[in-house]
Amino acid sequence: MSEKRKSLSGLPLMLDPAKLDRSPSRKRVKPLVIGLCLGALGEAGFALRFIIPTSTAQESSVHVANERCPQARSMTPVKHSAIWNTLVERSASEEFKERAVEWLSGAVKIRTESYDYMEPVGVDPRWDVFGSFHGYLLQTFPLVHFTLSLTKVNTWGLVYVWPGFEESLKPILLTAHQDVVPVNPETTDEWEYAPYSGHYDGEFIWGRGSSDDNGGLIGISAAIENLISVGFEPSRKAVLAFGFDEEASGLHLRCSVQLEKRYLIPFGEQAFAFIVDEGEHWPVAALIAEIEANPVAPKLSRDNMFYDTLLCTAVGSAEIDPDMRKAILASIISDEALRAVESIIFEVPLISSLVGTTRAVDIIGGGVKASVSEVINIDTQLVKPIAAKFNLSLTSFGEVITDPSVPSYGSIVLSDPWGNQLDPAPISPYKGSAAFDILSGTIKSAYNIHRGLSGDDNIKVYPSYMIGNTGKTKCFSILYLMLLKLSENTYRYGHGNGLGGRGIGNIHTVNETILVDSLLEMIEFFTALILNADTATDL
């Protein structure tokens, strides 16, 4: 028995590794990085992800992947090639890089936090910070504000319209959000650079919102500012919608009525050629491998209930190893002793799982998504026997299930406290879809041009489910149903993960960053998307 194991003898069964079933750890199998469709159960519509093909993938697997995941050709702007080439050359310059850094860094410095519980606009003063953000956008992108018309929705929501000279063409809708997740004051000291510093270290821009979603908003705005600066005038109208409460579940924006009046009434349903909303954009197989290879390290802290268990064991058990007892008791005041105890007890997986967070990627296939009513019914049926067993009344989402005339000892109430339950959104078309081909072809083009590559095989684009919903899309679709009216071609994708997974980091947590090179590629992506959509004849 090792010294660490020996020192644990005398602890209760749950703490003694010698008395636990220590099953061998699961073998990690390196996943093939090929273009497979990856699905997950979720409530939202459609996302795009990209991966880099591996040379080790078997030919038959690649064939299956290609069959399941149709690939569009890399789509470089042809009609507007002179404009495209000029802007690509510009984006490669050090001068433009410095400007892009300033654009995003300045945006990050404005603390546009939105919270779960906020009073309405005009009542809660915390919304007022968006006035400073609007002023910053006006100053930073003057051509956008001079050329595009702007409507403000509920004071802080921004809807820009870039008119096209061909009215018969359906417009495109690009979205982003101005607000960011609040920074927990208790974590401020954990940030390598202050969370609203917008610090640039020569490679990354640091700060809350740098990647979610100031990066996307600045990427869209910069692309249009560039296009206007070289004299581009679109044939196809483009609409930009920048929400301000996405991180607060989109409860305040109320922009759907504005969009309905402006587009659905004059143009009828399916008014937009396509919608691109923020979404997932990770190299999936690499992500799985990374998660599996880097488990969350458990940490023993004095304010954890399990620490009290250790203390009680130390003072109450006569069988505990004397050295272990001393270490536990010393850890009350000694950080060194606390870490020593931590290193010993977390050898046992069961103890580690009690204190830390366990995780494993174990769903790698898709399925048929259940509707809200199905989920409610399943939950209700699961709870009914429990209510009956303990003589409790049961109310499920407003419906009284048990007989109210029968006395009960208590009650169970199933409800949605947020009131924002949504049925799964429909799958946006991707096989034989002109909109999907334009979007995926543009992704390939931006990826290639940024790396000086050519051809269609450097990157594969494939569909997947978006696991969650976003405030913007819920708002724009009148709690999702409006989505069917605006456009069936609604794609959740953000071109921010440029270099094999290093593009963005730590969304919603400490040390959020974005790689500046990814920001530059994002600008190129939106530029190419607008130019490609402008000349498409089959949207």
Annotated binding residue at 374?
no
Which H helix or E strand runs over 238? strand 238-243
Largest CA-CA distance found in the chain, in angstroms, rounded: 86
397 Rama sector, left if φ>0, alpha if ψ -120 to 50, beta otherwise: left
Angstrom CA distances, 506 to 52, 210, 515, stand at 22, 10, 12
Q: Which residues contact 231 (CB under 8 A, 6 or more apart)?
A: 83
Work out the number of other CB atoms within 10 angstroms of the CB of residue 248: 20
State whether residue 56 is helix, strand or coil: coil
Annotated binding residue at 247?
yes
Rounded to 10°, the helix 322-330/305-316 angle is: 140
Rounded Cα–Cα distance for residues 536 and 539 (Å)? 6
Rounded Cα–Cα distance for residues 164 and 162 (Å)? 7
> Are 428 and 491 a contacting pair, CB within 8 Å?
yes
Catalytic residues: 179, 246
Contacts 24+ apart (CB under 8 A), 120-126: 120/252, 121/154, 121/155, 121/156, 121/252, 122/155
User: Strand pairing of 274-277 and 490-492?
Assistant: parallel
Q: How far apart are the first and last CA of the chain?
A: 70
Rounded Cα–Cα distance for residues 411 and 408 (Å)? 7
Show the tokens assigned to 47. 């996302």
Rounded to 10°, the helix 322-330/335-345 angle is: 130
Specify which residues 204 forms β-bridges with. 515
Rounded Cα–Cα distance for residues 207 and 46 (Å)? 28
Rounded Cα–Cα distance for residues 7 and 21 (Å)? 19
Q: Provide the residue type at 365 as one letter.
A: G
Annotated binding residue at 277?
yes
DSSP 396-435: ETTEE-S-TTS--SEEEEE--TT----PPPPPPP-TT-HH
Show the tokens assigned to 176. 């982003």
| Bond before 179 cis per omega within 30 degrees | no
Annotated binding residue at 450?
no
Annotated binding residue at 177?
yes
Show the tokens assigned to 335. 């950080």
Write out the binding residues. 177, 212, 247, 277, 508
Residues of the binding site for Zn(2+): 177, 212, 247, 277, 508
